[in-house]
Chains A and B, each alone.
Chain A
Amino acid sequence: MLHLHDISKRFGRTQALSGVSLEFPAGAVTGLIGENGAGKSTLMNVIAGVIQPDSGHMQLGDAPYTPHHASDAHHSGVALVHQELNLVPSLSVAENLALGAFPQRGLGPLRWVDRRTLAEQSDEAVRRVGLDVRHDTPVGRLSPGERQLVEIAGALRRRPKVLLLDEPTTSLTGPECQRLFGLIERLCGEGLAIVYISHNLGDVAQLCGRTYVLRNGTLAGRMERQGFSERQAITLMIGQPLEEVFPERSGRPAEEVVLEVDGLRLPGAESGASLRLHRGEVLGLAGLMGSGRTELVRALFGLDPRPEGRVLVHGKPLPPGSPRAAIDAGLALVTEDRRRDGLLLDGAIRDNVALASLPRLASSPAGWVSPRRVADACDPVATRFRVDSTDFGRQMVSSLSGGNQQKVILSRWLVTEPDVLLLDEPTRGVDVGAKCEIYAEIQRLVDAGTAVLVISSEMEELKGLCDRIAVMHRGAVSGEFRRGPAGYDDQQLLAAAFGRRNEQ
């Protein structure tokens, strides 16, 4: 149905796609996997007409397909369901579904929304995905799973020939996932070409007839359903066997408890979470999206309120609501979303690195900050981390690649010389090279006695890095697993993530 020939796209200094050729047949689910930054989203955007490729061409059916705008893709019958939801919470379900093309009637130039047709269309579209909500419900009142289905209903409304699904299951519960898979298979039977993009290799194995693997903007391989193995998929995704990516752990964690979280209850959660982190230990925090991992870390760092529970650093209680106090106590937090709350994108690299250490670098009491002192403290760290820049004082962070931006954030926290490093999705959107450097740095820090807590949605990352993995479910820790001689047991981890108590 949809053929891509030799697609290439370049952004500034990064080659996002180079010479990718794929084909997506009608009536089949085709998987597309790859690490973050491998070029999946660029490819999606090219297909959806949001981005124009520098070279290469596409073919839809027998006709050439050259979308210049998102609406071209709509008209040609290519629909895209984005990973982040594209819904306006304050508008109703029906209005969201019809957003780009309201049914209208009227006289001449005077046109108004045909509300009856709007409601009918909405009801029909929602029924098609097996959802039962009224057309006038504001989308803001739906659950994440319901919103995902509304989103798919919106994509299907235009009767597409090709449907692209980008990580559709990240916010869904188990039953919701199975419902979605049923829907996908039904649509497939109706002759749609479905492109399924996911991190969840289990889902891909279950659904997809053929799976393409992207790596660093190129096609790294292709796997059929019969020959699909997760191990091989991972090797194709990262370009080397998994064992070589993660450094060998040399030391053992000490007995000394550096960070203790005691009954920290998140708003809306029924019970509190408790954790202990030891000197020289890497603790992984796993769980489904929405299980409260990020919220827990933000609350313990003082970014979000924590109505109940204690946090002890080196046995001393940490006051709530003050990131400054957390930093002074030796905590450091690399947040989940670099652009939202990780970087000053329009600031210089050096200013970004210095930001968390400024009170220490300032000569008290006047608070004057000497530029030389800042440079002396920050530049060596950024240099050691091989942040790719010739001028830390001038070059803006926004001009760096994702991997280098992440290194800037890590450099910032290393300058504060933390005892506890909290990492929330530290390798999201980072290329494999930078990933390995980040892993090596974690290893170096741990060997020097720093305690590290890693949140990651990539199970392989947690399994490769951590001495211990705690699994969260609905704001509480539902299981804790120590690395055995054979690593971790996937079944147990998964069971804990879905809230089943473990017997270990």
Chain B
Amino acid sequence: MTRRRAVTFRQRLAAWTLGLLYLAIVVAFSIASPRFFTLTNALNVLTQASVVGAAAAGLTLVMLTAGMDLSIGSTMLLASAVGGALVVWADAPVAVALGAMLAVGVLVGLVNGLLVVRAKVSPIIATIGVLFVARGCGLWITQTRALNLPDEFRQLATARLAGVATPVWTLAAVTLAGWLITSRTAFGRQLYAIGADERVAERAGVAVGRHVMAAYALSGLTAGVAGVLLLAQLATVSPGLGRGLELEAIAAAVLGGVSLFGGRGAVPGAVFGALVIQTVRNGLNLVDANPFIYPLVTGGVILLAVALDSLRRGSPARDAAGP
């Protein structure tokens, strides 16, 4: 009895720690720089966090099933290459290009899902394989050249609605949708069960395979969305686009309380994780810190997330070597 409470207390503590930490970060930067605590800067941070935040939202669904998606960055490149090629070479309307980008995302996600569910390849390997293939296909399309997009595309990122830029609205919509899916739909609740214990879910009659597949497809979709957001900000399809972004999304999700072992976490948490990382970067930028220490700080923040996760898990795992 007493032990059960203790864990709950530690879990609460861990959940609060990130919030308190964020508060401390905000206060510290507000004192250090007058430009930090302003509405403009807040919207800036949100815009900058939108790419990784959106990707992390979909990734959360996959991670809830105890899966992993390392192909996010490559998916973004492939989607951008397809979108860019349509706009630049085929003179397609921007709307068509956007639709195609999202479709590419879903498609890559479905391939991941098929590999994990049907071929029973472990998620890390499956998505690394798809990472290579998607990146290869993306470069194939662009022939490793940089593709400059017309201004219409850039306007996607700069257009404002009620004074707030579209990427922020997009991020908000993705977060809200992700939250509704995970907390209010049968599919979402069943994802938690799958991640906690796949056999239990199966015995209860949950269509495990279909659900996992859908989780990967949704992760692909949000990778497509993230691709659109990134492309709109860059206005160029470069060969290195999206590289390493999957790692940032994973870091954000874990920081936000999503467990690598499945069954625990929430979409808003993951997006919040992305926000924390971006806030730190933004703050460092405003106080004119040496830009070379940004990665150091990001790495430190991930390590912090690791420590938090280990606190959250509480009871000692029997095996020292995790997955």
Bound complex: CA of A117 vs CA of B206, how far in Å?
Answer: 19
Is B2 interfacial (CB-CB < 8 Å)?
Answer: yes
13 A-B pairs besides A91-B189, A95-B189, A99-B201 with CB distance below 8 A are A70-B203, A74-B205, A86-B199, A86-B203, A90-B192, A90-B263, A90-B264, A91-B193, A100-B206, A112-B180, A113-B186, A141-B8, A303-B318
Bound complex: CA of A113 vs CA of B263, how far in Å?
Answer: 19
Bound complex: CA of A73 vs CA of B201, how far in Å?
Answer: 15
Bound complex: CA of A70 vs CA of B205, how far in Å?
Answer: 7
Is B152 interfacial (CB-CB < 8 Å)?
Answer: no
Within 8 A of A (CB), among B1-22: 2-4, 8
B185 touches A88 (CB 8 A): no
Give the contact-size bracket for chain A: 20 to 34
Within 8 A of A (CB), among B146-197: 180, 184-186, 189-190, 192-193, 196-197
Q: Whole-angstrom distance from the CB of A301 to the nearest CB of chain B?
A: 13
Knowing A88-B196, A140-B4, A267-B3, the reply to whether A112 touches B204 (Cβ < 8 A) is: no
Is A341 interfacial (CB-CB < 8 Å)?
Answer: yes
Is A87 interfacial (CB-CB < 8 Å)?
Answer: yes
Knowing A100-B205, A268-B3, the reply to whether A111 touches B185 (Cβ < 8 A) is: yes
Q: Which residue of B lies closest to A142 (CB)?
A: B4
Knowing A86-B200, A88-B196, A113-B184, the reply to whether A102 touches B189 (Cβ < 8 A) is: yes
Bound complex: CA of A88 vs CA of B8, how far in Å?
Answer: 16
A82 touches B203 (CB 8 A): yes
List 17 A–B pairs whose Cβ atoms lie within 8 Å, in order of A's numbering. A86-B203, A88-B196, A88-B263, A90-B192, A90-B196, A90-B263, A91-B192, A91-B193, A99-B190, A99-B205, A101-B205, A102-B189, A104-B186, A113-B189, A268-B2, A303-B318, A341-B318
Q: Whole-angstrom distance from the CB of A184 to the nearest CB of chain B?
A: 21
Residues of A within 8 A of B190 (CB): 99, 102
Top 4 closest pairs, chain A to chain B, by CB: A100-B205, A102-B186, A99-B204, A100-B204
Residues of B within 8 A of A88 (CB): 192-193, 196-197, 200-201, 263
Residues of A within 8 A of B263 (CB): 88, 90
A99 touches B193 (CB 8 A): yes
Q: Whole-angstrom distance from the CB of A138 to the nearest CB of chain B?
A: 9
B204 touches A86 (CB 8 A): yes
Residues of B within 8 A of A154 (CB): 204
A99 touches B3 (CB 8 A): no
Q: Which residue of A lies closest to B7 (CB)?
A: A140
Q: Whole-angstrom distance from the CB of A29 to the nearest CB of chain B?
A: 23
Bound complex: CA of A91 vs CA of B263, how far in Å?
Answer: 10
Residues of B within 8 A of A140 (CB): 4
Q: Which residue of B lies closest to A110 (CB)?
A: B185
Residues of B within 8 A of A99 (CB): 189-190, 193, 200-201, 204-206
Q: Whole-angstrom distance from the CB of B106 to the nearest CB of chain A?
A: 16
| Neighbour of A141 across the interface among B4, B203, B318, CB < 8 A | B4
Bound complex: CA of A222 vs CA of B281, how far in Å?
Answer: 74
Bound complex: CA of A50 vs CA of B201, how far in Å?
Answer: 13
Task: Spell out B's residues near A (CB within 8 Å).
Answer: 2-4, 8, 180, 184-186, 189-190, 192-193, 196-197, 199-206, 263-264, 318
Bound complex: CA of A104 vs CA of B193, how far in Å?
Answer: 18
Bound complex: CA of A384 vs CA of B189, how far in Å?
Answer: 53
Task: Spell out A's residues near B (CB within 8 Å).
Answer: 50, 70-71, 74, 82, 86-91, 95, 99-102, 104, 111-113, 140-141, 154, 267-268, 303, 341
Contact residues of B: prevailing secondary structure = helix
Q: Whole-angstrom distance from the CB of B283 to the nearest CB of chain A?
A: 34
Bound complex: CA of A260 vs CA of B264, how far in Å?
Answer: 43
Bound complex: CA of A50 vs CA of B204, how far in Å?
Answer: 11
Residues of B within 8 A of A104 (CB): 185-186
- The residue among A82, A104, A113, A141 with the most chain B CB atoms within 10 A of its own CB is A113
Bound complex: CA of A303 vs CA of B316, how far in Å?
Answer: 12
Residues of A within 8 A of B186 (CB): 102, 104, 111, 113
Residues of B within 8 A of A70 (CB): 202-203, 205
Knowing A74-B205, A90-B264, the reply to whether A112 touches B185 (Cβ < 8 A) is: yes
Q: Which residue of A lies closest to B186 (CB)?
A: A102
Bound complex: CA of A95 vs CA of B206, how far in Å?
Answer: 12
Bound complex: CA of A358 vs CA of B308, how far in Å?
Answer: 37
Q: Whole-angstrom distance from the CB of B269 to the nearest CB of chain A?
A: 14
Q: Whole-angstrom distance from the CB of A388 to the nearest CB of chain B?
A: 29
Bound complex: CA of A101 vs CA of B8, how far in Å?
Answer: 29
Q: Which residue of B lies closest to A82 (CB)?
A: B203
Bound complex: CA of A141 vs CA of B34, how far in Å?
Answer: 48
Q: Which residue of B lies closest to A71 (CB)?
A: B205
Bound complex: CA of A101 vs CA of B206, how far in Å?
Answer: 8
Q: Whole-angstrom distance from the CB of B218 to the nearest CB of chain A?
A: 15
Q: Whole-angstrom distance from the CB of A179 to the nearest CB of chain B?
A: 20
Bound complex: CA of A268 vs CA of B204, how far in Å?
Answer: 33
Q: Which residue of B lies closest to A74 (CB)?
A: B205
Q: Whole-angstrom distance from the CB of A112 to the nearest CB of chain B?
A: 5
Residues of A within 8 A of B202 (CB): 70
Bound complex: CA of A9 vs CA of B205, how far in Å?
Answer: 23
Residues of B within 8 A of A102 (CB): 186, 189-190
Residues of B within 8 A of A111 (CB): 185-186
Bound complex: CA of A311 vs CA of B318, how far in Å?
Answer: 22
Residues of B within 8 A of A101 (CB): 205
Bound complex: CA of A124 vs CA of B189, how far in Å?
Answer: 21
Q: Whole-angstrom distance from the CB of A99 to the nearest CB of chain B?
A: 4
Bound complex: CA of A215 vs CA of B166, how far in Å?
Answer: 69
Q: Whole-angstrom distance from the CB of A75 to the nearest CB of chain B?
A: 9
Q: Whole-angstrom distance from the CB of A322 to the nearest CB of chain B?
A: 14
Q: Which residue of B lies closest to A267 (CB)?
A: B3
Q: Which residue of A lies closest to B189 (CB)?
A: A95
Residues of A within 8 A of B196 (CB): 88-91
- The residue among B2, B3, B200, B202 with the most chain A CB atoms within 10 A of its own CB is B200
Residues of B within 8 A of A100 (CB): 204-206
Residues of A within 8 A of B180 (CB): 112
A112 touches B184 (CB 8 A): yes
Q: Whole-angstrom distance from the CB of B68 to the nearest CB of chain A?
A: 20
Bound complex: CA of A408 vs CA of B179, how far in Å?
Answer: 50
Residues of B within 8 A of A89 (CB): 196
- The residue among A86, A87, A90, A99 with the most chain B CB atoms within 10 A of its own CB is A99
B189 touches A50 (CB 8 A): no
Residues of B within 8 A of A303 (CB): 318
A113 touches B204 (CB 8 A): no
Residues of A within 8 A of B204 (CB): 86, 99-100, 154
Bound complex: CA of A144 vs CA of B89, how far in Å?
Answer: 65
Q: Which residue of A lies closest to B197 (CB)?
A: A88
Q: Which residue of B lies closest to A104 (CB)?
A: B186
Bound complex: CA of A88 vs CA of B206, how far in Å?
Answer: 13
Residues of B within 8 A of A86 (CB): 197, 199-200, 203-204
Q: Whole-angstrom distance from the CB of B119 to the nearest CB of chain A?
A: 20
Bound complex: CA of A95 vs CA of B188, how far in Å?
Answer: 11
Residues of A within 8 A of B200 (CB): 86-88, 99
Q: Whole-angstrom distance from the CB of A150 to the nearest CB of chain B?
A: 13
Bound complex: CA of A102 vs CA of B189, how far in Å?
Answer: 9
